[in-house]
Structure formats: C-alpha cells, structure tokens
Amino acid sequence: MGAPERPLTVDALAQFLAQLAPLALAESWDNVGLLVGDRSRRVQRAMTCLTITPPVVAEAVRRQAELVIVHHPLPFQPLKRITADSTTGRMLLELIAAGVAVYSAHTAMDSAAGGINQQWAEALQLESITPLQPLETNASPKANASPKANGPDAVLGAGRVGIPAAGETLQNLARRAQQAVAAASVRVVGDAEQRVRKVAIACGSGGSFLGAAARRGCDGLVTGEANFHACLEARATGVGLILLGHFASERFAMERLAEQLAEQFPELDAWASEADRDPLWTL
C-alpha cells in the first residue's frame, strides 16, 4: 500500500496561489497573501470572488467554504479593532466564526505572468505583449509564465501593451472587449473609427495609467473605470479610452481561477461566488 495522501490545507493552496501570482509583484501599498485563517486547516471547499460583501460572506458560510480567494483584500487597511460596529468588522467576525480563511493576491495577480492583464491581452489577441510598467522584483515567476506571453518582459509588470490586428478601430476593439467578459455595457472616449495601432490594458481603476499609455505610444487604453478628468485628458491626447466597468474588467479572472483550482486539485470543490455581483446596473 502506498502512503496515504496528505490532506489539502490552507497553506498548500496559499503556496499554489503564490506561484501563480508571486506576492513580490504586489504594489507596496497593497495587502496580499493569507489575510485571515489557520494555515494548517484542511480545505475541501474553496470559493473565489472579486469582492467580499455581506451576501458573499453568507454564501461562503452557507456552502461551508474553508477558504475564500478574493481579488480585493479584506481587510485592506490596517485595523485597530474588529467589532460588529462596522461592515468590515462584521464580515470578518462572521468569517472567523465559521472558520473561513481569506487569501488575496490583488495587484500581484494583476501583474503576474498569467494574471488578469495578461489574460486580457490574450483574449484580445494582441501581439508583441509587454508590461505597460515593468516591475523590478526579486521574484522569479518565469516558470509560471503564460505560453502566449511574448518575450521575457511579459512576465513582470503592471498593465500590458500589445499590437491589435491591422485596421482595428476603437469601436471594434470596444465591442470585442465587451464580448470577451460579457460586460453589460461599455463606455468609450474617442472617435469610433479611430485606428488603434497599439493598445494598453489596465484592469480595474486604470485611468491613472493613461499617462504611461501615452508615453508608450498607445492610441488606445482598455480598463475598468476612469474619472471624468482622465476622460478629458484621453480626448485631448487622442488616446481612445474603453471603459468596461471595474467589476467586468476583473471578475472573469476569478471565474477562471475557480476552474483552474478545480483542475489542479480534483479533490477540491471550487466555485466562483454567485453572490459576487456588480453593485452598478444599467438601464
């Protein structure tokens, strides 16, 4: 008889996730890694989500998840106290009482070799993909690089830059981006027939990457959201801006992560939260 299989633990899954998205890639202001929980606890059920909200907590508890893998960290800011006086405190108390661990990779997952921005670049079938803002780090995630990443620079860095098919218009790129993640709507800044010869990608709140995109010679930027002044700046500089909504620009990656976990660990019941929804809706 062979040796019995070791049970899957929070720590084992945390190590696997850290290989997918090395935590050294995270921004200095971020809060990543195992944020809540006992590393030694056995995990049979794991749920992914974009953001932990009260309905997401209720789902995790109801379905007896031992681990929630969330993109947006909880907690994010340092806490002096954990009480039921705040929404964050109540959610943390409920998760802890139910024995649910919380792990987040956040900006490390954004920048990783196979992370959200790389997934975007591949979904849009871009060529010559490189980071929008290369990162200097001691991490060595090249072994985990996406096979479609082009060149060593595609491994490390925030955002992505790539070349779309010849003749791509801003309107067509916007439609393809919307379809790629089944976004309910898409907003665009710029001339619909404008040719996009180089496009930047920055998931989530990526309006701050507009300047970097312009410096890299991009005439398009695909992101989740940008403020009004960034939209005015995009129009003034001629960089077409495609806004898919923060939720749509990142949620798809958490769904894929659940599928990846299920494939990697057949003994694990992994799913993407059904209660994790966009707080915005469109008439």
What's the confidence (pLDDT) of residue 136?
60
What value does the mean pLDDT of the chain take? Answer: 90
What's the confidence (pLDDT) of residue 282?
82
CA distance 186 to 164: 19
CA distance 131 to 121: 10
Within the chain, strands assigned E span 33-36, 45-49, 67-70, 101-104, 127-130, 160-163, 187-189, 199-205, 220-225, 240-243, 269-272
CA distance 207 to 225: 6
Between strands 187-189 and 240-243, the pairing is antiparallel
Indicate whether this model's pTM tops 0.85.
yes
Report all structural domains of the chain as residue ranges with CATH numbers, in order of start.
10-108+250-272 (3.40.1390.30), 112-248 (3.40.1390.30)
- What one-character DSSP code corresponds to residue 202? E
Q: What is the pLDDT of residues 173-194, one digit of tens each?
A: 999 999 999 999 999 999 999 9
What's the confidence (pLDDT) of residue 248?
95
Q: What is the pLDDT of residues 60-91, one digit of tens each?
A: 999 999 999 999 999 998 899 999 999 999 99
For residues 45 and 268, is the Cβ–Cβ distance under 8 A?
A: yes
